[in-house]
């Protein structure tokens, strides 16, 4: 099988830039969320639709990013 | 890829699609997210887990020579094998594995430009079965470690004091400034934020195009040249745990052609936890960071 309909987009969550990539694989859709800088993966999910898969990774990314402390410099 | 200093170390996805099954080629996926391989991988590729198979799991260190030899033998890799590495996050840990392979003297090791992301984006065939290699018929023999490409703490401390090499911090601008102590969303793994005094900020991703491939030689020359890097400048790259900086180390050594460049894999999780180590906070002065 092949990955199909691969797409990437950027969203902002609580001031952090997040990259969301998703594609179809067979009958399922897969999504992955990374923080744009530095590029570390935050969440991965599979669902029946692109929207659901992306929603799951964005929800998880939101939880993780909410825990990130900003320190005064 | 003719403009790079050593273009033979990069292969494109098309090359891997054509040669991934060749008997003298071993394709290996190494991901930050060690479960990604199971979702589908380059046909014939095996996987290495960076956190269990590419480091000493007791002492904080890279693989000891004997374990590296064992990994290669069990992976069906001989000293003559063309080893092709790729992974997620634009090849972070593929570059880490490449760096270790060069420390132990593997001659023909290459990176698939663009990594897993480009393979997916191009809609190429994915194999979902987990591959296990037949062990190599002859035991792999590593060379003594080439430590000229690895920087240890005492060397970095000396360089920092004497300003005798360019230190390149490849983390994000927020990590460099000290605003955050780890990539957003990940646990904090150091006691102090900031950077090694005098370090230049050149985030690793500046070396990449949107599709994950490396930028052109001209663009890389400009990127690092702005920070005073030339082919004869001694350079030490660091990040948080050494994998992002191995990506920059790769770009500098093989694509730009910097002769004396090493990867400080102790990186910020070592320096930022040291009692008494000098730390500088605040944004970079250069234009590279933005």
Residue B182 has pLDDT above 90, yes or no: no
pLDDT at B198 over 60: yes
CA pair distance B206, B218, nearest whole angstrom:
13
Residue B160 has pLDDT above 70, yes or no: yes
HEC readout, A42-60: EEEEEECCHHHHHHHHHHH
Picking from B86-90, B99-103, B155-159, B218-222, which range would have the lowest pLDDT averaged per residue? B86-90
Q: Is the pLDDT of residue A66 over 50?
A: yes
Please, what are the domains in chain A? 3-65 (3.30.67)
Calpha distance B278→B148 (Å, rounded): 25
Residues B61-90: pLDDT tens digits?
Answer: 999 999 999 999 999 999 999 999 999 989
**For residue B119, what are the contacts with CB-CB under 8 A and spacing of at least 6?**
A3, B13, B16, B42, B86, B112, B126
| Cβ within 8 Å, pair B123-A34 | no
Helices (H), B143-242: 153-162, 173-177, 217-225
Question: Could you give the 3-state DSSP secondary structure of residue B174?
Answer: helix
Distance CA B268, CA B190 (A): 7
SS3 B118: helix
Q: Which range has the worst mean pLDDT, B28-37, B109-118, B227-236, B254-263?
A: B28-37
* CB contact B276 to A (< 8 Å): no
Average the pLDDT over each of B30-39, B54-63, B192-201 and give the range with the smallest value. B30-39
Judge whether B281 is closer than 8 Å to chain A, CB to CB. yes
pLDDT tens-digit readout, A32-51? 999 877 677 899 999 999 99
Question: What's the distance, CA B213 to chain centroid?
Answer: 14
Query: Is A38 in Cβ contact with B172 (below 8 Å)?
Result: yes
A40 → closest Cβ in B125, B174, B183: B183
Helix (H, G, I), strand (E, B) or coil at B252: helix
Give the distance, in angstroms, between the CA of residue A63 and the centroid of all CA atoms in the same chain: 12
Distance CA B110, CA B98 (A): 7
The mean per-residue pLDDT over the stretch B225-238 comes to 95
Residue B183 pLDDT level (bands cut at 50, 70, 90): confident
CB nearest B123 (choices: A2, A44, A70) = A2
B181 to A69: CB separation less than 8 angstroms, yes or no: yes
Sign of CA dihedral A28, B19, B35, B252: negative
Phi and psi torsions of B11, nearest 5°: -125, 150
Spatial separation of the C-alpha atoms in residues B111 and B97, rounded to whole Å:
10
Instruction: Place B290 in a pLDDT band, splitting at 50, 70 and 90.
Output: very low
Complex confidence, ipTM: 0.92
pLDDT computed for residue A22 by the predictor = 97
Distance of CA B8 to the CA centre of its chain: 17
Evaluate if residue B288 carries a pLDDT over 60: no
The CA distance from B290 to B201, in Å, is: 9
The count of C-alpha atoms lying within 13 angstroms of the C-alpha of B236, restricted to the half-sphere facing its C-beta, is 26
Residue ranges in chain B assigned as alpha helix (H): 13-19, 65-74, 88-103, 115-121, 153-162, 173-177, 217-225, 243-250, 267-271
- The answer to whether the CB atoms of B123 and A4 lie below 8 A apart is yes
What CA–CA distances, in Å, run from A38 to A49, B103, B201? 28, 26, 13
- The pLDDT, as a whole number, for residue B286 is 62
Helices (H) and strands (E) in chain B, counts: 9, 9
**Between B89, B128, B203, which is nearest A37 by CB?**
B203
User: Residue B161: what pLDDT?
Assistant: 97
* List of domains in chain B: 7-145 (3.40.250.10), 148-271 (3.40.250.10)
Residues B130, B284: Cα–Cα separation, whole Å: 44
Q: Which of B98, B29, B103, B28 is nearest to B64 (CA)?
A: B103
Task: Assign B86 to helix, strand or coil.
Answer: strand
A→B contacts (Cβ < 8 Å), by residue, are 1-4, 6, 8, 16, 21, 23, 25, 30, 32, 34-35, 37-42, 44, 61, 64-65, 67-71, 73
Q: A28-35 and A16-25 as β-strands: parallel, antiparallel, unpaired?
A: antiparallel
Secondary structure of residue A34 in the 3-state scheme: strand
Round the average pLDDT of chain B to a whole number and report it.
94
Instruction: Please answer whether residues A8 and A15 qualify as being in contact, where contact means their C-beta atoms are separated by less than 8 angstroms.
Output: no
What is the per-residue pLDDT for B8?
Answer: 97
- Per-residue pLDDT tens for B10-44? 999 999 999 999 999 999 999 988 788 999 999 99
Q: What is the DSSP letter of B142?
A: P
pLDDT for B285 equals 78
Percentage, residues of chain B above pLDDT 90: 89
Among B55, B190, B208, B239, the one annotated catalytic: B239
CA distance B106 to B81: 9
């Amino acid at each position: 099988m092949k990955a199909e309909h691969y797409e990437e987009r950027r969203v902002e969550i609580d001031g952090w830039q997040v990259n969301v990539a998703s594609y179809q694989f067979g009958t399922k859709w897969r999504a992955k969320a990374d923080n744009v800088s530095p590029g570390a993966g935050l969440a991965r999910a599979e669902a029946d639709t692109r929207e659901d898969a992306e929603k799951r990774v964005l929800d998880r990314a939101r939880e993780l990013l909410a825990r990130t402390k900003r320190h005064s410099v | 890829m003719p403009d790079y200093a050593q273009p033979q170390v990069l292969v494109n996805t098309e090359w891997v699609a054509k040669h991934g099954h060749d008997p003298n080629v071993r394709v290996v996926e190494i991901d930050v997210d060690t479960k990604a391989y199971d979702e589908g991988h380059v046909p014939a590729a095996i996987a290495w887990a960076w956190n269990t198979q590419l480091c000493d799991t007791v002492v904080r260190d890279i693989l000891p020579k004997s374990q590296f030899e064992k990994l290669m033998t069990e992976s069906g890799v001989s000293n003559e094998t063309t080893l092709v590495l790729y992974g997620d996050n634009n090849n972070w840990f593929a570059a880490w594995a490449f760096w270790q392979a060069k420390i132990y003297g593997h001659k023909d090791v290459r990176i698939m430009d663009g990594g897993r992301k480009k393979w997916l984006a191009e809609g190429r065939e994915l194999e979902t079965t987990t591959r296990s290699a037949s062990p190599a018929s002859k035991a792999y023999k590593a060379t003594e470690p080439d430590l000229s490409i690895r920087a240890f703490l005492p060397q970095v401390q000396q360089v920092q004091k004497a300003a005798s090499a360019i230190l390149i911090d490849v983390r994000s601008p927020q990590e460099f400034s000290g605003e955050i102590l780890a990539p957003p969303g990940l646990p904090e793994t150091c006691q102090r934020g900031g950077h090694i005094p005098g370090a230049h900020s050149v985030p690793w991703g500046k070396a990449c195009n949107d599709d994950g491939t490396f930028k052109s030689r001209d663009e890389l020359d400009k990127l690092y040249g702005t920070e005073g890097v030339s082919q004869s400048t001694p350079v030490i790259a660091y990040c948080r745990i050494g994998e992002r900086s191995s990506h920059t180390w790769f770009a500098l050594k093989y694509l730009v052609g910097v002769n004396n460049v090493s990867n400080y894999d102790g990186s910020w999780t070592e320096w930022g936890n040291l009692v008494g180590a000098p730390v500088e906070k605040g944004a970079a002065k250069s234009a590279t960071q933005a």
